[in-house]
Amino acid sequence: MKGESDFIDALRRRVDTGTRGRGDAESTASPRLPVTVSSSLVIGIGDDAAVFRSTAGKETVITADLLVEDIDFRRTTTSPYLLGHKSLAVSLSDIAAMGARPLWSIMSIGVPEDVWQTDFVERLYDGVLDLANRYSVQLIGGDTSRTTENIVIDSIVAGEATAGMSVLRSGASVGDQIFVTGSLGAAAAGLRLIERGAHLAEQNLADEDSQKLDHILLRQLRPEPRVGWGIVLGEERLATSMIDLSDGLSSDLNRVCSASGVGALIDSSLLPIDERVIELCGRRALDPLQLALHGGEDFELLFTVKPANATRLPRRVDGVGIKCIGTIQSASEGVKISEGPRAWELKPGGWKHF
């Protein structure tokens, strides 16, 4: 079966060829229209975002996320406001993972006729704009279109970094320490609980268990992108590589290792598994470690740091802490997870689009 990443690799090769083949385009262009290229592609397709040199001393990073009803979300288990928030959040998370500062967004939305006749789209943009305003991200455009049945949302966010300072997946070296922000597992736990019929209480949170459940559900429905951490790690040159945990730690760590040509050893006892997940999951036959490793959608940042720089890391940014979970090894060591004295290969077990 063909996977999305194979396709992206193939497309990247073709796009690179297209870029090199620019001479052809020049020769067929009208002589009135000299071909001048004022932006040059630096990375192209395949990292968390595309990067290109824009202004002198700056590079622009751009990311796109296509969200499709009944694949990425269900209309019945979220609200338009939360859906708008999440649509922007997933793209802001990609920009954070590049160590860049988000600047603007384009949000295209397709909805069927019956949804258009409600206030769904307005409420969705409420969610987009509230989150955008928190980070001074400008919503500069987007298309609205009719669909036959399902809602689709394409979320584009562009950000800016100092030239050469976007943090790629490919920069990890042997000996680097591996960190994650925040906590793991709640988003995946939330998805499974929603699938079993759980829903937000919100109103009546005197009850402590309801508060914990809401926290878990909101990690799925209203993820908070680590925008502040992304900017700090990029601008202070602290991270050697970075990715956001959208598909799950196991998949995303393997991506970093593959792009960097290295291996990794993480320690299961160091994983910052969400405490409320541990507490609630025991009663619900969910395995917190599996959720934290393979669950996805936590939208925390996974990044690597030279040991000498580890002490320069802030303890918290925007109230969110970090945890060292392991070390980058040589590629021949593979990507592994230890549990006490034993270590196993950590295979990608996260969400696959195809």
Site of tokens 């960190």? 179
Are 181 and 99 in contact, with CB atoms under 8 Å apart? Answer: no
Q: How far is the CB of 231 from its own copies (least distance, A)?
A: 6
Site of tokens 């996974």? 302
Q: Which of 75, 77, 79, 129 binds its own copies (CB under 8 A)?
A: 129
Q: Which of 59, 72, 252, 300 binds its own copies (CB under 8 A)?
A: 72
Q: How far is the CB of 220 from its own copies (least distance, A)?
A: 18
Which positions from 143 to 162 touch its own copies by CB under 8 A, shown as an x/- string? xxxxxxxx-x-x-x---x--
Largest CA distance in the chain: 73
Q: 126, exposed or middle or buried, with CB in 10 Å at 0-12, 13-18, 19+?
A: middle
CA–CA distance, 180 with 268 (Å, rounded to integer): 13
Strand partners, 344: 337
Q: How far is the CB of 123 from its own copies (least distance, A)?
A: 12
For position 109 contacting its own copies by CB under 8 A, the verdict is yes
Q: Quick one: which segment of 140-148, 244-252, 264-272, 331-339 binds its own copies (CB under 8 A)?
A: 140-148
For position 351 contacting its own copies by CB under 8 A, the verdict is no
CA–CA distance, 315 with 65 (Å, rounded to integer): 30
Are 50 and 63 in contact, with CB atoms under 8 Å apart? Answer: yes
Q: How far is the CB of 184 from its own copies (least distance, A)?
A: 23
Q: Quick one: which segment of 103-111, 285-293, 328-336, 339-347 binds its own copies (CB under 8 A)?
A: 103-111
CA–CA distance, 257 with 280 (Å, rounded to integer): 33
Which tokens is 311 given? Answer: 């002490």
Closer by beta carbon to its own copies, 7 or else 344: 7
For position 167 contacting its own copies by CB under 8 A, the verdict is no
Can you count the helices (H) and strands (E) in the chain? Answer: 11, 15
CA–CA distance, 193 with 209 (Å, rounded to integer): 14
Q: CA-based Rg of the chain, rounded to a whole angstrom? A: 21
Antiparallel, parallel or unpaired: β 335-339 and 144-147: unpaired
Q: How far is the CB of 50 from its own copies (least distance, A)?
A: 4
Q: How far is the CB of 10 from its own copies (least distance, A)?
A: 7
H or E segment to which residue 294 belongs: helix 288-294
Closer by beta carbon to its own copies, 156 or else 184: 156
Q: How far is the CB of 66 from its own copies (least distance, A)?
A: 4
CA–CA distance, 83 with 81 (Å, rounded to integer): 5
Are 220 and 185 in contact, with CB atoms under 8 Å apart? Answer: no
Are 188 and 288 in contact, with CB atoms under 8 Å apart? Answer: no
CA–CA distance, 20 with 52 (Å, rounded to integer): 15
Site for its own copies in 290-349 (CB under 8 A): 314, 317-318
3-state secondary structure of 44: coil
Site for its own copies in 6-65 (CB under 8 A): 7-8, 10-11, 14-15, 18-19, 21-22, 24-26, 28-30, 32-33, 35-39, 41, 44-45, 49-50, 52, 54-55, 58, 62-65
Site for its own copies in 175-194 (CB under 8 A): none
For position 136 contacting its own copies by CB under 8 A, the verdict is yes
Closer by beta carbon to its own copies, 52 or else 324: 52
Give the binding-site size for its own copies (rule: CB under 8 A): 90
Closer by beta carbon to its own copies, 144 or else 211: 144
Site for its own copies in 212-231 (CB under 8 A): 228, 231
Which positions from 230 to 259 touch its own copies by CB under 8 A, shown as an x/- string? -xx---------------------------
Closer by beta carbon to its own copies, 59 or else 176: 59
